[in-house]
Amino acid sequence: MIAEILSTGDELRSGAVQDTNAGYIARKLEEQGISATRHQCVGDDAEGLVSVLAEIAGRADMAVVTGGLGPTRDDLTTAAAARAAGVELALDQEAEEIVKNYFKSRNRPMNPANRKQAFLPLGAVCLPNPVGTAAGFRLKIDGCRLWFLPGVPVEMKRMRHETVLGQVTQCMGRERSHYKTRTLSTFGLPESVADEMLAGFSGRFEGIRLGLRAHFPEIHVKHYGRGDAEKGLSNSMQAAVAWVSERLGDNLYSTEGESMASVLGKRLMHRKATLSVAESCTGGLISDWLTNVPGSSNFFRYAAVTYSNEAKIKMLRVSPATIRDNGAVHEKTVLEMAEGVKALCGSDYAVATSGVAGPDGGTPEKPVGTVCIGLATPRYSKSKRYYLQSADREMNKRIFAMKALDMLRRTF
């Protein structure tokens, strides 16, 4: 099946606004077993629109078009669709109701310009818009089914979800294949090493393709599956995930594409255990990630961003001698930080970070990228130094924070 996506509007063509609709629609079509063969963008140009719509109609089985359905003079898509189909525009009762109701529900008189939105190409089927004035519509041109949706992402998404999804499934049902994806999340392996570990996958599992995606500092191993039979595809996917999991070993922390913080949060909740954090170089990033996990109040107790030596000493009771003799970035210091925050709030576990995120502050002994991570658990405490330099300060903070969470994950 040939399926295409067309985005319209000068702001997209010129790059003033980034086209997020096309990617979103492509992903949603993939989930329905339809691979978009082409994405295009055309500006607010009547002739250009007519010719690209005619081209698509001559080539594709279906298409989703967004933008240009509004009331202003540069909203040209509806008229262009009519011209490409060789039909007139005609008043559509349903589209008229949508515009009228929009203004009525807001107690505002209808702007005369909006009347334009009540006219659709003859033969088009109106698609209700629950959140805006622009109705969408469905139109067949030369045997190609086209869905026209507003450009505003929130309106497009609502309509795709409520109306278009069902229609696409119904209209294209016989031509669709089954589609499944699975994301495995890993941390700790360079992309090239992960790739090597997974050599031999190709062709082993029917209908399943692998893709490695760097999602710094994680690597996601995406499984894309397509097949004619749902059951066969599920079995194939399960076998592929098991094969990949075995090869990645404990570098793999989720077979469901979860975040590290979420995996850790679940493990802590499962044990009814609590966690506190003392952060220096990561500046609150670990706490931010942990509190993004729904239900984090069940396990997350306390966080201290103790950036200065004074804060480490005053708040966490790190011994001044430890810092004086070893510096803030040291295994002994982070060990005392972790134990200090654990004692302060009575949590079961604690992690602490202190490192050199750069770009300045590195020394030959502790270059930029050096991080010390401390861990306090109910049974023991430990700390370790790593050298994890990435491209810039922000990336260093991310990899330090991830390493700290990963160190804790590996204790369970």
Q: Point out which residues bind ligand ATP (CB under 6 A).
A: 7, 9, 11-12, 17, 19-22, 66-70, 75, 132-134, 150-153, 155
3-state secondary structure of 109: coil
Q: Are 147 and 164 in contact (CB under 8 A)?
A: yes
Handedness of CA 96, 102, 106, 108 (dihedral sign): negative
Q: How far is the CB of 148 from ligand ATP (least distance, A)?
A: 8
Cβ closest to ligand ATP, residue 150 vs residue 227? 150
Handedness of CA 326, 332, 338, 340 (dihedral sign): negative
Decide whether 75 or 279 has the Cβ nearer to ligand ATP: 75
Q: How far is the CB of 385 from ligand ATP (least distance, A)?
A: 45
Q: How far is the CB of 107 from ligand ATP (least distance, A)?
A: 19
Give CA–CA dist 216/396, Å, rounded.
10
In the complex, minimum distance from the CB of residue 19 to ligand ATP, in angstroms, rounded to a whole number: 4
* CB contact set of 73 (below 8 Å; sequence gap of 6+): none
Strand, coil or helix: 296: helix
Q: Name the minimum Å distance from CB 76 to ligand ATP.
A: 10
Q: Given the complex with ligand ATP, which of 68 and 227 has the nearer CB atom?
A: 68
Question: Looking at beta carbons only, is 67 or 355 nearer to ligand ATP?
Answer: 67
Identity of the residue, 10 or 331, whose beta carbon is nearer to ligand ATP in the bound complex: 10
d(CA 177, CA 233): 10
Which residue, 66 or 274, has its beta carbon nearer to ligand ATP? Answer: 66
Q: Could you tell me if 373 and 353 are in contact, meaning their C-beta atoms sit under 8 angstroms apart?
A: yes
Please, what is the minimum distance in Å from the beta carbon of residue 17 to ligand ATP? 5
Please say which residue, 132 or 369, places its beta carbon nearer to ligand ATP: 132
Cα–Cα distance measured from residue 22 to residue 400, given in angstroms and rounded to the nearest whole number: 35
Q: How far is the CB of 6 from ligand ATP (least distance, A)?
A: 9
DSSP 320-356: HHHHHHH-SSSHHHHHHHHHHHHHHHT-SEEEEEEE-
Find all residues with CB under 8 Å of 230, minimum gap 6, and list them. 178
- Specify the length of the chain in residues: 412
Rounded to a whole number of angstroms, the minimum distance from the CB of residue 73 to ligand ATP is 11
Residue 151 or 369 having the CB closest to ligand ATP = 151
Report whether 128 contacts 135 (CB < 8 A): yes
